[in-house]
Amino acid sequence: MVKKIDCRNLACPEPVLKTKEALEEMEEGILEVKLNSFSSIQNVKRFAKNQGLYISEKKDGKDTIISIVKGYECEIPYKQTNESKSFWTLIIGAVITAFLASTCCLGPLLFLIFGISVGSLSFLHIFAPYHIYFSIAAVLIILYLWGNWFFKLRKKPVCEGSICKNYVKYLTIGTIFVAILVTYPYWAQYILIGE
C-alpha cells in the first residue's frame, strides 16, 4: 500500500506532525511525503530515522518526495557504523602498506630533510624484498575503495554521516598519500642525486 501526503508550503513542525499522523494510521506500507523546503525535508527525514524506519529521497521537479517504509523488513546493506569502521581500517591499511613499500629509501630522505641519523632505521631494510607486495596491496585497497564509491555509495538514495558526505575528499587525500609512498622509491633517486 502506498499512501501520499502533500506537506508543501507548511510551516514547521506541521510536516512532521502530518507525517506522524499518517504513519500512525498505517499498519504497513509506504508513505510518500511531498515537501518543498529544506528544513521540512531534514525534519521529516530525522523523524523517520528516529522511528527506525527506512527512507529514500527523490526529486520531483522543485519538490522532494521522501518515501518512508513502515512494517516491512528493509535491509540496508551499508550501515553507517560499519561504513566508518571499514573505510578508516582500509584507508589506514593502504597508507601503512604503502609506507612499508617505501622503507627501502626512507632513511636517506629523512636524513636529507630533517638531518636525523638513520642508523636507528636500518631495521626497515628487512621490508625491502617485499616492496612489490606491499605496493600491490596498497593499490588494491585504494582501487577497492574507489570501486565501492562508484558502484555502491554514489547510488545511495540518502547520504548521511561524515564518511558518506566526505568520502571522495578523504579517499582522494588517502590516494595521494599512497601514490607518493608507493612511487617514492622510483623518483627518490632523482631527488637524492640532485642534492
Q: Are residues 111 and 56 in the same domain?
A: no
* pTM, rounded to two decimals: 0.49
Q: Which domain holds residue 187?
A: 80-194
User: Omega of the bond prior to 15 within 30 degrees of 0, cis?
Assistant: no
Chain center to CA of 159: 9
Q: Are residues 92 and 170 in the same domain?
A: yes
Number of domains into which the chain is organized: 2
Decide if 92 is inside a domain.
Answer: yes
pLDDT of res. 80: 46
pLDDT of res. 152: 74
Decide if 16 is inside a domain.
Answer: yes
Decide if 108 is inside a domain.
Answer: yes
Q: Are residues 66 and 88 in the same domain?
A: no
Q: Are residues 57 and 99 in the same domain?
A: no
pLDDT of res. 111: 58
Decide if 75 is inside a domain.
Answer: no
Q: Are residues 54 and 86 in the same domain?
A: no
pLDDT of res. 77: 44
- Which residues, including other chains, have CB under 8 Å from residue 103's CB and lie 6 or more apart? 124, 125, 127, 128
Domain boundary, last residue among 70, 99, 129: 70
How does pLDDT run across 45-100, given as a tens digit for each residue? 888 888 888 888 888 888 888 888 887 655 444 444 456 677 778 888 888 887 77
Residues in the chain with pLDDT < 70?
72-84, 103-125, 153-165, 185, 188-195
**Marked catalytic residue, from 12, 104, 159, 164:** 12
Active site residue 159: no
pLDDT of res. 76: 43
Q: Are residues 110 and 63 in the same domain?
A: no
Contact in structure between 174 and 142 (CB atoms under 8 Å): yes
Residue linked to cell 508543501 = 8
C-alpha cell recorded at residue 13? 513542525
Angle at 29 (CA atoms; ends 60, 53), nearest 5 degrees: 80
